[in-house]
Amino acid sequence: MAVSLLGTGRHAERVFDVVRGSFGEESNDVVARSWRRCMDEYLLHPDRPRDLRALDPAAIEARLDRMSTLVDCARHEMATLYQQLADDESAVVLTDTDGVILHMVASPDFAREVAPLGLRTGVVWSETEAGTNGMGTCLAAACPVSVQRDEHFYTQFTGLTCSAVPVYNPSGEMAAVLDVSSRSTLMQQHLLVLLGMTARMIENRLIDQCFRHAHPLHFHSRPEFVYTLHEGRLAVSDDGRILAANRSALFQLGLQSVNDIRSRRIEDIFQTSQEDLLQRSSLSSFHPVVTYRANAANRFFAVMRRPALEAGALQGQGAVLIHPAGPGRSVATRAAAQAAAARPPGTVATLADPQLARHLDVARRVIARQTPVLLCGETGSGKEVFARLVHEGSPNANGAFVAVNCASLPESLIEAELFGYRAGAFTGAQRSGRRGKILQADGGTLFLDEIGDMPPELQARLLRVLEERQVTPLGSEETISVQFQLLSASHRNLLDLVEKGAFREDLYYRLAGVEVNLPALRERSDRHELMRSLLVAEGGTDARLSPAAEDLLMAYPWPGNVRQLRHVLRSACALADGEPIEVEHLPLALRKTVAAGEYGVSGALPSIASPAVVARLVAPPHDAAPNLPAEGDSAGLAADHRADEPAEEPPLKLNPILANERQVLLKMLEQHRWNVSNVAKAFDVSRNTLYRRLHKLHIRISHPD
Ligand SMILES: Nc1ncnc2c1ncn2[C@@H]1O[C@H](COP(=O)(O)OP(=O)(O)OP(=O)(O)O)[C@@H](O)[C@H]1O
């Protein structure tokens, strides 16, 4: 390892100079203050380094026990941060408030290399012991700190650059320090941001863990930030009193400390009661609903849930439902699992489309015979919602529904996530080991989403598990028998992937006992009902769509399917703010697409749309070319025109989408008194484009005004 850049003597001299002189001589004031503390208060000497103190194994064990909740919350986030850093010569370290290292994630080589320096579990890195350093100085200064190479007090550490941030407990007190110690000095600012984000994730997990009996309340002033790292998070007792708050909650509410909010009632903070918030959240399928700050006009979007323990251990951030249940488990446990399975986050499950209802029936019958089902369909078409419905009507309905998104897991973690691992299987593994998702699905249903993204080497392991129905956790020699129903899904064509050699053919046939193709939203006959129930979910029972807005939504081809519809309705509800949703509350791009009839032409439909669908959507109802004035021909466009027979049925049979679009345009023309310029402006398209569209849809414009 490189030692001081300056050499021991010169490094010590510089420390002396700065401490004796003014702080201005050292660019980093935090470091200069720390050097002064080291010399004046702790009586350390930069010339006389010493070995760092290490706790004995029993003392380490006792500390780990005391801090086990925090360390458990931190492990996963630290492993993820380590993956993100992609730097073999770095370590992610967690210390308690005495500076004792509790947990460290590093490559085995780097861990071996830095162990003699004291970068290992049980060693004390407080400033009093180790002089100026990332962890100790962060503790002493109680703020994020970056200590680069020669900024360390002792020469022995000047080969390292350490960045550290505080981690707070739900009472708002500093509970730990999260640090990255690396040989690299690059990207320190970026690193501090990443560390700050990881600390917040740990803090949110800690609130979840410590208040599993409380109601979690998620909120933000912008709906898209709810359920993200930036959300405000409160834990609320059964009687509506606030027990804990995260940092973002305090910031958004303009409060200084958790004490300013603890024990206060929901009504003191928001213009709503616990009852009302719970009811509206449930009605909206746990999508954010509007509320206001008590005694103020600040608007927030909030969701309140039932306690995790009561709801059957809904874990993590609104994601996967995991609950052990199956034959032989207690009735209470099964009932909790059932209740939780019946409340998947964000589901209104409207399946009035007869084709979909048939598919559901087939899938349920097939899965009851232990035959795997593969769901195919465009992104956002509701594959997971459908999978949950299959599970709920299956013989394993009392068991857990465990969803794994193969696309969102880093390749290096997917194996541990799926198969689990034994205690100490790798650096960074939990002390107690971990049950993988497959074992969690024992007696229930395993849903492998985006299966086409599973790395090839894991495909072989998965195939073996499916054939043998036995799992061997990482680092273990024990095989465990497991019984689960299997559903998988992909928006990619798996057979194409098989042909390209990216997906194993034998695995494909193993997964696709029966293949169910879910229709895109534009092909569903129940899209009207679905739109209505999503509207209630997003905007409450009073939410209304104006007829023109409704027609426009019915005319749009929805390349992002139900997910996109949900998002559009959510933002429209927010913009309409309690009034009926009008066309102008809908996204401009959507209006343009409908007005210009650009389905499949301007990229409105993604390439995943089948050629048949694209052909149907772009097929003109009439092949006569419009006779239009050239763009910019001011003479031809000087005046707007009036439709001759606006209400007349189109002479040719239009497909439902084009017929809808025609209705939208007619209504808009009516609304704008047949002023084509104004309608074009409302859709933000040129008049030429609009004329062309009107012609295609057989809306005749004849007399200039
Ligand atoms: N039938 C439905 N009723 C109500 N909401 C639905 C329905 N189908 C889908 N949604 C909503 O649409 C969104 C996307 O659904 P889902 O995650 O099931 O789609 P997906 O096809 O699995 O998506 P991806 O391909 O991206 O994994 C979710 O917010 C879900 O709640």
pLDDT of 685 above 80: no
> What is the distance between the alpha carbons of residues 139 and 125, in angstroms, rounded to a whole number?
10
The ligand 1 atom at the shortest distance from the C-alpha of residue 377 is 21
The encoded tokens of residue 502 equal 């990216």
**Contact by Cβ (8 Å): 469, 431:** no
**385 pocket-lining for ligand 1 (C-beta < 6 Å):** yes
* Fold classified for 520-705: Helicase, Ruva Protein; domain 3 (1.10.8)
Q: Map tokens 């110690």 to a residue.
A: 181
Q: Ligand 1, atom 1: nearest CA belongs to which residue? A: 349
- In tens, the pLDDT along 299-333 reads 999 999 888 664 333 222 222 222 222 223 232 23
Q: Ligand 1, atom 23: nearest CA belongs to which residue? A: 380
The encoded tokens of residue 614 equal 């694209």
Mean pLDDT of 516-545: 87
Cα angle value 670/674/678 (rounded, 5°)? 100
The pLDDT-based confidence of 508 (bands split at 50, 70, 90) is very high
**570 pocket-lining for ligand 1 (C-beta < 6 Å):** no
User: How far is ligand 1, taken at its centre, from the CA of residue 84, in Å?
Assistant: 29
The ligand 1 atom at the shortest distance from the C-alpha of residue 349 is 3
pLDDT of 490 above 60: yes
Distance of CA 234 to the CA centre of its chain: 19
Which residue from 384, 389, 408, 453 has its CB within 8 A of the most atoms of ligand 1, so it is best to mutate? Answer: 384
User: How far is ligand 1, taken at its centre, from the CA of residue 372, in Å?
Assistant: 20
Question: In whole angstroms, how far apart are CA 88 and each of 11, 126, 162, 193, 475?
Answer: 27, 25, 15, 20, 22
Q: Is the ipTM of this complex over 0.95?
A: yes
Mapped onto helix, strand or coil, the DSSP state of residue 669 is: helix
**564 pocket-lining for ligand 1 (C-beta < 6 Å):** no
**383 pocket-lining for ligand 1 (C-beta < 6 Å):** yes
> What is the distance between the alpha carbons of residues 658 and 675, in angstroms, rounded to a whole number?
22
Residue 287's H or E segment, with its range, is none
The encoded tokens of residue 495 equal 């057979």
Provide the b/e sequence for 90-101 (b: ≥16 CB within 10 Å): bbbbbbbbebbb
User: How far is ligand 1, taken at its centre, from the CA of residue 561, in Å?
Assistant: 8
Q: Which amino acid, one-letter code, is at 79? A: A
User: How far is ligand 1, taken at its centre, from the CA of residue 382, in Å?
Assistant: 3
Q: Which amino acid, one-letter code, is at 421? A: Y
User: How far is ligand 1, taken at its centre, from the CA of residue 451, in Å?
Assistant: 16
DSSP result, 54-106: B--HHHHHHHHHHTHHHHHHHHHHHHHHHHHH--TTEEEEEE-TT-BEEEEEE
**449 pocket-lining for ligand 1 (C-beta < 6 Å):** yes
Determine whether domain 331-517 maps to CATH 3.40.50.300. Answer: yes
User: How far is ligand 1, taken at its centre, from the CA of residue 167, in Å?
Assistant: 35
Mapped onto helix, strand or coil, the DSSP state of residue 429 is: coil
What are phi and psi for residue 218, nearest 5 degrees? -105, 135
**389 pocket-lining for ligand 1 (C-beta < 6 Å):** no
pLDDT of 83 above 70: yes
pTM: 0.46
Which residue from 321, 374, 447, 563 has its CB within 8 A of the most atoms of ligand 1, so it is best to mutate? Answer: 563
Q: Which amino acid, one-letter code, is at 420? A: G
What confidence score (pLDDT) does residue 145 get? 94
Q: Map tokens 């488990």 to a residue.
A: 329
Which residue from 491, 532, 562 has its CB within 8 A of the most atoms of ligand 1, so it is best to mutate? Answer: 562
**Contact by Cβ (8 Å): 402, 445:** yes
- In tens, the pLDDT along 586-603 reads 988 888 888 776 543 333
% of the chain residues with pLDDT over 70: 79
User: How far is ligand 1, taken at its centre, from the CA of residue 485, in Å?
Assistant: 21
Determine whether domain 211-311 maps to CATH 1.10.530. Answer: no
What confidence score (pLDDT) does residue 88 get? 85
**563 pocket-lining for ligand 1 (C-beta < 6 Å):** yes
> What is the distance between the alpha carbons of residues 158 and 10, in angstroms, rounded to a whole number?
12
Q: Ligand 1, atom 25: nearest CA belongs to which residue? A: 379
What confidence score (pLDDT) does residue 343 get? 34
> What is the distance between the alpha carbons of residues 231 and 247, in angstroms, rounded to a whole number?
9
Strand 145-147 and strand 480-481: the pairing is unpaired
What confidence score (pLDDT) does residue 651 get? 42
What lies within 8 Å, CB to CB, of 458 at 6+ separation is 414, 415, 418
**348 pocket-lining for ligand 1 (C-beta < 6 Å):** yes
Q: Ligand 1, atom 3: nearest CA belongs to which residue? A: 349
Q: Ligand 1, atom 15: nearest CA belongs to which residue? A: 382
Strand 480-481 and strand 434-435: the pairing is unpaired
**Contact by Cβ (8 Å): 672, 641:** no
User: How far is ligand 1, taken at its centre, from the CA of residue 569, in Å?
Assistant: 14
User: How far is ligand 1, taken at its centre, from the CA of residue 503, in Å?
Assistant: 25
**377 pocket-lining for ligand 1 (C-beta < 6 Å):** yes
User: How far is ligand 1, taken at its centre, from the CA of residue 184, in Å?
Assistant: 43
CATH number assigned to the domain covering 57-207:
3.30.450.40
**Contact by Cβ (8 Å): 488, 548:** no
> What is the distance between the alpha carbons of residues 555 and 583, in angstroms, rounded to a whole number?
12
What confidence score (pLDDT) does residue 337 get? 36
DSSP result, 195-224: HHHHHHHHHHHHHHHHTTTSEEEEEESSGG
User: How far is ligand 1, taken at its centre, from the CA of residue 349, in Å?
Assistant: 9
Q: For the chain, report the end-to-end CA distance as a whole number of angstroms.
A: 84
> What is the distance between the alpha carbons of residues 105 and 78, in angstroms, rounded to a whole number?
7
- In tens, the pLDDT along 448-482 reads 998 998 888 788 888 888 888 888 887 777 788 88
**524 pocket-lining for ligand 1 (C-beta < 6 Å):** no
The encoded tokens of residue 93 equal 């370290």
**347 pocket-lining for ligand 1 (C-beta < 6 Å):** yes
Give me the residue spans of the domains in the chain.
Answer: 57-207, 211-311, 331-517, 520-705
User: How far is ligand 1, taken at its centre, from the CA of residue 377, in Å?
Assistant: 11
The ligand 1 atom at the shortest distance from the C-alpha of residue 518 is 21
Per CATH, 57-207 and 211-311 having the same topology is answered yes
What confidence score (pLDDT) does residue 462 get? 85
The pLDDT-based confidence of 662 (bands split at 50, 70, 90) is confident
Helices (H), 329-404: 331-341, 354-368, 383-392
> What is the distance between the alpha carbons of residues 340 and 321, in angstroms, rounded to a whole number?
8
> What is the distance between the alpha carbons of residues 678 and 676, in angstroms, rounded to a whole number?
5
What confidence score (pLDDT) does residue 105 get? 94
- In tens, the pLDDT along 51-65 reads 899 998 888 888 887
The pLDDT-based confidence of 649 (bands split at 50, 70, 90) is very low
